[in-house]
Structures are given as structure tokens and as C-alpha cells.
Amino acid sequence: MKGLVIAYKGMGRAEDALPLQRELLDLNLAPADAVDASAKVLNGAAWSLLTIKVEDLRDPGRALGFAKRTCALAEESGSDRLWTYLDTLALAQHKTGDTAAAIETQKRALALMPEGAGPKMAERLAAYEAAMKDR
């Protein structure tokens, strides 16, 4: 199916590729709908829904639900990956219009982040803060 999507796009038939891309996304998200989905699976689903290249397929509201579940599981288990999950939650909060919560969540993620993990999270915090100032 992925090969067909690539072929359609290569032929300039993006409109024919879209239903297949939607189906592929649904197949990739199915494990996250399970009651016993792991934090890693839930976070991956949330991130996919927030960042998929085809904007028409993005679903920040659904991503927010997955991200909240992810963080709850990580908190409960004491996961050392909580900082990455909080980063996803902050993006979902921002994309659903709760930028104030996104700023606080991102600050918490940065506080938990191991040294040398990269500048992307700080850049996202700056973008959220800029968005709040623009309101």
C-alpha cells in the first residue's frame, strides 16, 4: 500500500494517494486503541497524528487523548522517558489551542530532559511562548 502511495504521488495523483494514506495511518494507529497499549505505542500514535506530512490527516484532538494516556502510564510506572512523552503532550496541547498548558508541560519536559538531548524541545517552548505573546 505504501508503494502504491509513492507511485500515485510520483505520477502527480496525490488525490488518489490520500485514501490509502488514511488507511495506512489507521492501521498504524490501531495498536494504540488497545486498552493495554504501552506508553511507547501511545506516544508514537500521538506524534504521528500531530506531525504526519499530509495535513488533512492530522488530528490534534485524538493525539491529545493518546498523549494524556501516555503520560499517565509513564507517571504511574516511573518511566525515565517521561520527558519525551511530555514533549508530545505539549505539542498536542498547543495544537488544540491550550498553549498556556503547553508552555507549562514543555517546561516540565525540559526540566526532566537528560543533558545533551538536543535543542528541539527548547525551540518548541520558544514557539509556544511566542504564540502566547501574539494573542
Mean pLDDT of the chain: 93
Cell numbers placing 134: 501574539
User: Which residue type sits at 6?
Assistant: I
Taking alpha carbons only, the member of 51, 89, 97 closest to residue 70 is: 89
pLDDT of 11: 93
Q: What DSSP state is assigned to residue 57? A: G
The answer on pLDDT for 82 being more than 80 is: yes
Q: What is the rounded CA–CA span in Å between residue 94 and residue 110?
A: 16
What's the pLDDT score for residue 47?
96
Delineate the domains of the chain, giving CATH numbers in brackets. 35-133 (1.25.40)
pLDDT digits (tens, 9 = 90+) for 26-64: 999 999 999 999 999 999 999 999 999 889 999 999 999
Secondary structure E strands in 42-135: none
Q: Is the pLDDT of residue 8 over 90?
A: no
Closest residue by Cα to residue 75 from 95, 89, 63, 92 = 89
If pLDDT is split at 50, 70 and 90, which confidence band does 123 have?
A: very high
Q: What is the pTM (predicted TM-score) of this model? A: 0.88
Q: Which helix (H) or strand (E) holds 107?
A: helix 99-112
- Residues sharing a CB contact under 8 Å with residue 130, sequence separation 6 or more, in sequence order: none
Enter the DSSP assignment of 114.
Answer: P
Asked if residue 46 lies in contact with residue 67, where contact means CB atoms within 8 angstroms, the answer is: yes
